[in-house]
Structure 1
Amino acid sequence: MANFYLLEELADARAGGTVTVAGAEAKHIATVARTRVGERLLVGNGRGLVVDGVVEQVTPASVSVRALQVEQTDAASPRILLAQALAKGDRDELAIQAATELGVDGVIPWQAERSVSRWAGPKLDKGRERWATIVREAAKQSMRPWLPAVAPLATTKELAGLGARHRVLVLEPGARHPITSLTPDGRDLLLVVGPEGGVAPAELEVLEAAGAELVRLGDTVLRTSTAGPAALAVLNAALGRW
């Protein structure tokens, strides 16, 4: 299977034309993947455009690819966003990595009341940049035509405000309804996952008051790194993505 690379500035391409990859991606193609002239690879722009081509010239600074096929994939509809609470260690990072591989359409870092990890000062930009890098690499690994966006850090109040445009689903072990009982209604979905200690009662009140639905995943309690990807798999099946 051909390796997949991202070239966000790629605006258009046609079969028979040439695509030039430069920068870090070219260096990876030449020195890490050790790609040679004549080998196939895929180049996408993260906005649905994917070029399947053959390498005609390769150096660490620049790689030329002759396009054999060009495909434009529509964005998923309805969309699924993941609001992932910041968590200690790398559990939040594991969550967004797996969620990206499973097809999430966007990621929102959430500063929950019980989040041990805190993004403040210099950590604010560094944290988001770190998440964006993880999402980008996971999208490449899973060869996704669309690159999920990483939104700015959100508060609980800001998440509640998204209920005006999204169907908000909060994962809560004690919820009455299982996520498998949901019937899609065409609205974009916002999946909210709390930190290690769960979503605080006051946060649940704010979210429910804004129209959020509490749902559970089976009868067990999953880690914050596992819950989001597990719920996403269920929603993929319900929406016919799988």
Structure 2
Amino acid sequence: MTFPLFIVPQLRESISLPETPSTDGDGSSSLAGTEAVLPAGVYQHAVKAMRLGNNDTLWLSDGMGLKVRAVITDSSEGMVRIEGQSYESAPQIRLGLVQALAKSGRDEQAVEMAVEIGADAVIPWQADRSIVQWKGPRAAKGREKWHDRLVMAAEQSRRSRVPELGQLMVTKQLVPWAAGQVQSGNAVIVLHQDAADTWGDISRTLLGQYAQPMDGGAARDAGGSASAPRYIYIAAGPEGGISSSEIEQLRSAGAYITLLGRNILRASSAGPVALALLSEAFGRFSAGRQGPI
């Protein structure tokens, strides 16, 4: 059964968790039976809004992999009993979305769906044709809205890891960033309706380059040592599309330029669709909640 999950950034401090509590294989721990009080925000959401009551189970997560299972013992006071905990390791191959700012909240829709699909990082991009501009006070407000979307989507999809939110980049910053990613062994895929290479071409290339054990173990280098995490980033443009100049600059930086399909997708859906295809290709959708990557 799936229980509701709530992100509590300062979880350890909020319910007085030790730094390295012992946990056995079934998720129980030395904390089992400990009484705690729900943080005010979680209490308001879980008890007042969702109407959870005594004996209902919920998960609390720090957004960095730690999950604590708790049962409500006194809904009027927000008291819970800790029943166990688990830890979700970060995936070895991580998926990221570079999402161009778009009007009518379509960028926020893309971010929300990307998190639900499984994105591990999200980066806002102020593309040449982005109508929305993050400048002055609007920059802080825009970033805050994106962060809130990340947290809400993580809770909705029962994820114990909230994706990292990168800093806003304009194209002149994105291009050298992409070059650095490629040089580090990561991949950047730019979605473009006029690309010559198809998604099938690119996905086959990536599957060959990013061979990964399907049991969730760490990837190994030629010497048998655990290799560093690797990233595959999807870059999706704004409603007006990515300019020819941007495409050429990103191509020169080593990014893949690919056609996602015969249909032209909105700014809100292109990135999430590509992330879903990658997730399926690498086995995330067939390996259960923990996934192989």
Please, what TM-score do these two structures have when normalized by structure 2? 0.78
Contact 1:132–1:149 (CA under 8 A) maintained in structure 2: no
CA distance in 1, matches of 2:93, 2:199: 17
Q: What is the CA-CA distance between 1:158 and the residue it aligns to?
A: 2.2
- Give the aligned partner of residue 271 of structure 2: 228
- Give the aligned partner of residue 188 of structure 1: 231
Q: Deviation per CA, 1:42-74, whole angstroms, max 9, x where unpaired?
A: 111111111122112334xx6332222211011
Unaligned runs of 5+ in 1: none
Q: What is the CA-CA distance between 1:197 and the residue it aligns to?
A: 1.2
Q: Which moved more, 1:195-204 or 1:157-166?
A: 157-166
Q: How many residues align?
A: 240
**Aligned positions of 1:1-242 closer than 5 A:** 1-11=2-12, 12=17, 14=29, 15-16=31-32, 17-59=34-76, 63-163=78-178, 164-165=180-181, 166-181=186-201, 182=203, 183-184=206-207, 185-186=209-210, 187-242=230-285
Q: What is the CA-CA distance between 1:160 and the residue it aligns to?
A: 2.1
Structure 1 letter corresponding to 2:192: E
CA distance in 2, matches of 1:106, 1:114: 23
Q: Any idea what SS the aligned residue of 1:69 has?
A: strand
CA distance in 2, matches of 1:54, 1:2: 10
CA distance in 2, matches of 1:158, 1:139: 28
Q: Which moved more, 1:64-73 or 1:80-89?
A: 64-73
Q: Any idea what SS the aligned residue of 2:93 has?
A: coil
Q: Which has the higher strand share?
A: 1
Contact 1:157–1:206 (CA under 8 A) maintained in structure 2: no
| Superposed CA RMSD | 1.6
Q: Any idea what SS the aligned residue of 1:224 has?
A: coil
Contact 1:47–1:147 (CA under 8 A) maintained in structure 2: yes
Structure 2 letter corresponding to 1:211: G
Q: What is the CA-CA distance between 1:23 and the residue it aligns to?
A: 2.4
Contact 1:180–1:234 (CA under 8 A) maintained in structure 2: no
Q: What is the CA-CA distance between 1:156 and the residue it aligns to?
A: 1.4
Please, what TM-score do these two structures have when normalized by structure 1? 0.93
Q: Which moved more, 1:9-18 or 1:26-35?
A: 9-18
Q: Which moved more, 1:151-160 or 1:197-206?
A: 151-160
Contact 1:173–1:217 (CA under 8 A) maintained in structure 2: yes
Contact 1:42–1:50 (CA under 8 A) maintained in structure 2: yes
CA distance in 1, matches of 2:39, 2:116: 25
Q: What is the CA-CA distance between 1:19 and the residue it aligns to?
A: 4.4
Structure 2 letter corresponding to 1:77: Q
Q: Any idea what SS the aligned residue of 2:79 has?
A: strand
Q: What is the CA-CA distance between 1:8 and the residue it aligns to?
A: 1.2
CA distance in 2, matches of 1:218, 1:229: 13
